[in-house]
Amino acid sequence: MSQPVLQTWTGAWPVIKSSLPLSISEGVIDQNAFDAIEVDALFNAVNHASTTIGQAVLYRSLTQPLQALDAIQAKQDAVKELQEDPALKAVLERIVQQAAEDEKNFYLLLFGEFLGSTGTAREEHEIEGFGYLQYRRGVRFMLNLVEEISAITTPKSVYLQAIFTQILSFTASRDYSLMQGPVYLSEQGIHSKEQRETSWIPAIIFKPRLFKPLLISLVFGALWAVAHFFPTDIFKVSVEAIPTAAIFLVPMLLAYVPIVGGYDRDHAIIPLRNDYRQSQAIGESLDALGQLDELLSFLRYAEAYSVPSQTTEPLTDLPRQTMVLPDFVNAIKQQLNLRAVKNPVLGKGNPNYVANDFVMEQDRLVLITGPNSGGKTAFCKTITQSQLLAQIGCFIPAEAATLSVADKIFYQVPEISQLSDGEGRFGTELKRTKEIFLASSAKSLIVLDELSEGTTFEEKMESSTNVLNGFYRKGCNTLLITHNHQLVDHFIAEKIGLAKQVEFSHELPTYRLIEGISRVSHADRVAKKIGFSKQDIDNYLEAEQRIDASPAATPPPSLEVGHTGSLPVATLPPSLEVE
């Protein structure tokens, strides 16, 4: 079971992205693949959670996706139940929305910074006074959550039942009893009501308020005793006695506030919040709330995906985009069968995004070729992001989807060698390929974006052939993005794998994936687009020479980085500017 999100919040305030991918040998996705697939962008697209804990749970799901088929299907069943039961969905939405408004009170109790009795809070993480108000509001958040869930009829799906059980089981914990009160402070520490029943050690009852009737009664009782046994004018009710009484009573009142408030803060509120922060029971109950919000976030994501980002047209006149919960098969090797799949990030709010079909079952090796900017990388990220969403129980943008659970999702991209590495680009990338090869199995989904960069063509061919043959013999389904059509020719001749290419029409990409091998390069088209083709370079140099030949002319413009983030491009005459 994953560590509760609460226990990952070790800083001064909750952080949504506190979970990390597991190591390459433990998790479905490691840090390198996480970065290459752009999971942070995927999170931003899917994230429609209302609460901080819901967003943190969703992020944890993406960093540590499920590996068990029954766990994924149980989560899907919960999503389906919410779809089919609007009343239950509405009740849970109300609970989650209320929690979103109140949870900051609990985080302020757990992580807030005490300013002292005279400080003024200017930031959301600062606590004024002695913390009584923050304590009452904080514990009320947890008590209300339990109360709201206990009032709902038990849902049908196993996953939702487990969430409800987890929240309601909090009532059996010591922390719940402490939050309900009373809290007993003794030399042996803090005790709950149940613990107090088995202990006879003298204790102070803590209640989160500065006004304490019993204590004040004891003080006045003591004053009465002094007045009774030691008569003095201080206790005579007369105009003349007021100044004398004030001299005695005012300092007592001034001392009462910091003494009592400081004691409660240091001996009750701060120790209690430290216990709550480390509590497994509270962490699991918070996680359960986050899981509810995560399920609702999936439904909101599916609804939002179909709504164009910017439009003035009536929504009823716009094409709707299909979102599906994938069907899973229990296969001995990784399988994919997607119909009209779109990128989960780029296709959101974009009804014109081009969909593609993709099947990878017995092929083992799919080789994708095509010119730059044709959509090869975007398509492979569509596949891996869809697989990842499927394994957290979420919808994917497709008309139909059947796949198996991937024990690993790998995505290798070209890497720049580090000075400390000492291997050069070829060695750096080969190390990553070796990592993937050793950690993968027939149930892994592997995407390789080019292979064996940083060496000669002959060595690239030999090394790439060896690597791909190794994955093939291991039984791994592997996608390769490459410009090396000779490499693809080799494997097609060996009757190994399937050749796909991105389609171009009139030198423009259609972003469709079709059968075949691309043997053309559009490097010159790309260079022209960013204003750095051979003609652009010649024009710049000619303009520079003309300026140098004219003494009265101003110096040539310096090179500036173009808006595309490409190589530096000179500021050119209008006819040469980047389109």
Higher pLDDT: 177 or 364? It is 177
Q: Render pLDDT for 528-569 as a digit per residue (tens, 0 to 9).
A: 777 877 888 888 888 888 887 776 555 555 444 444 444 444
Q: What is the pLDDT of residue 401?
A: 97
- Tell me the CA distances in angstroms from 263 to 125, 140, 196, 205, 258, one per residue in order: 22, 22, 21, 12, 8
Q: What is the pLDDT of residue 573?
A: 43
Q: Render pLDDT for 251-284 as a digit per residue (tens, 0 to 9).
A: 656 666 778 888 889 999 999 999 999 999 999 9
Q: Which of 217, 193, 216 is nearest to 205 (CA)?
A: 193
Q: What is the pLDDT of residue 552?
A: 59
Q: Render pLDDT for 275-326 as a digit per residue (tens, 0 to 9).
A: 999 999 999 999 999 999 999 999 999 999 977 765 545 444 545 578 999 9
3-state secondary structure (DSSP) of residue 236? coil
Q: Which of 79, 65, 3 is nearest to 30 (CA)?
A: 65
What is the DSSP code string of 452-492? Answer: S-SS-HHHHHHHHHHHHHHHHHHT-EEEEE-S-HHHHHHHH
pLDDT for 99 beyond 80: yes
pLDDT for 221 beyond 60: no
Let me know if the fold of 5-15+38-173+280-305 is the same as that of 317-507: no
The Cα angle at residue 251 between residues 248 and 254, in degrees rounded to 5: 145
Angle at which helix 158-168 crosses helix 280-305, to 10 degrees, equals: 140
**Residue 341 pairs with which residues in a beta bridge?**
356
**Encoded tokens for 105:** 């009170």
Q: Render pLDDT for 407-454 as a digit per residue (tens, 0 to 9).
A: 999 999 876 555 455 567 778 888 999 999 999 999 999 999 988 776
Q: Return left, alpha or beta for 71; rule: phi > 0 is left, psi -120 to 50 is alpha, else beta.
A: alpha
Question: Which residues lie below 8 Å from residue 158, measured CB to CB, with a gap of 6+?
Answer: 74, 77, 78
| Annotation: CATH topology of 5-15+38-173+280-305 | MutS, DNA mismatch repair protein; Chain A, domain 3 (1.10.1420)
- For 545, counting Cβ atoms within 10 Å of its Cβ (0-12 exposed, 13-18 middle, 19+ buried), the class is exposed
Are residues 491 and 482 in contact, defined by beta-carbon separation less than 8 angstroms?
no
**Residue 116 pairs with which residues in a beta bridge?**
129
- CA–CA separation, 492 and 131 (whole Å): 72
Half-sphere exposure of 535 (CA within 13 A, CB side): 12
- CA–CA separation, 36 and 494 (whole Å): 30
- CA–CA separation, 52 and 5 (whole Å): 10
Which amino acid type is present at position 515? E
Which amino acid type is present at position 22? L
- CA–CA separation, 22 and 3 (whole Å): 12
User: Could you tell me how many residues make up the chain?
Assistant: 579
Could you report how far apart the first and last alpha carbons of the chain are, in Å?
Answer: 53
Residue 579 pLDDT class (50, 70, 90 cuts): very low
- Tell me the CA distances in angstroms from 145 to 7, 86, 304, 454, one per residue in order: 20, 21, 28, 58
Q: Which of 440, 435, 438, 462 is nearest to 451 (CA)?
A: 462
- CA–CA separation, 505 and 375 (whole Å): 13
For residue 234, give the DSSP letter: G
Backbone dihedral angles phi then psi of residue 354, each to the nearest 5 degrees: -80, 125
Q: What is the pLDDT of residue 253?
A: 61
- CA–CA separation, 116 and 510 (whole Å): 64
Question: Which residues lie below 8 Å from residue 219, measured CB to CB, with a gap of 6+?
Answer: 252, 256
Query: How remote is the C-alpha of 419 from its chain's centroid?
Result: 32
| β 400-403/327-328 pair status | parallel
Are residues 39 and 29 in contact, defined by beta-carbon separation less than 8 angstroms?
yes
| H or E element in which residue 360 lies | strand 356-360
Name which CATH class applies to 317-507.
Answer: alpha beta
Residue 224 pLDDT class (50, 70, 90 cuts): low
pLDDT for 200 beyond 80: no
Query: How remote is the C-alpha of 505 from its chain's centroid?
Result: 39
Are residues 371 and 520 in contact, defined by beta-carbon separation less than 8 angstroms?
yes
Domain boundaries, the chain: 5-15+38-173+280-305, 207-276, 317-507, 526-576
Q: DSSP H helical segments within 207-279, as ranges? A: 213-229, 241-264, 270-278
Higher pLDDT: 123 or 86? It is 86
pLDDT for 141 beyond 80: yes
Q: Is residue 351 reached through a cis peptide bond, with omega within 30 degrees of 0 on the bond before it? A: no
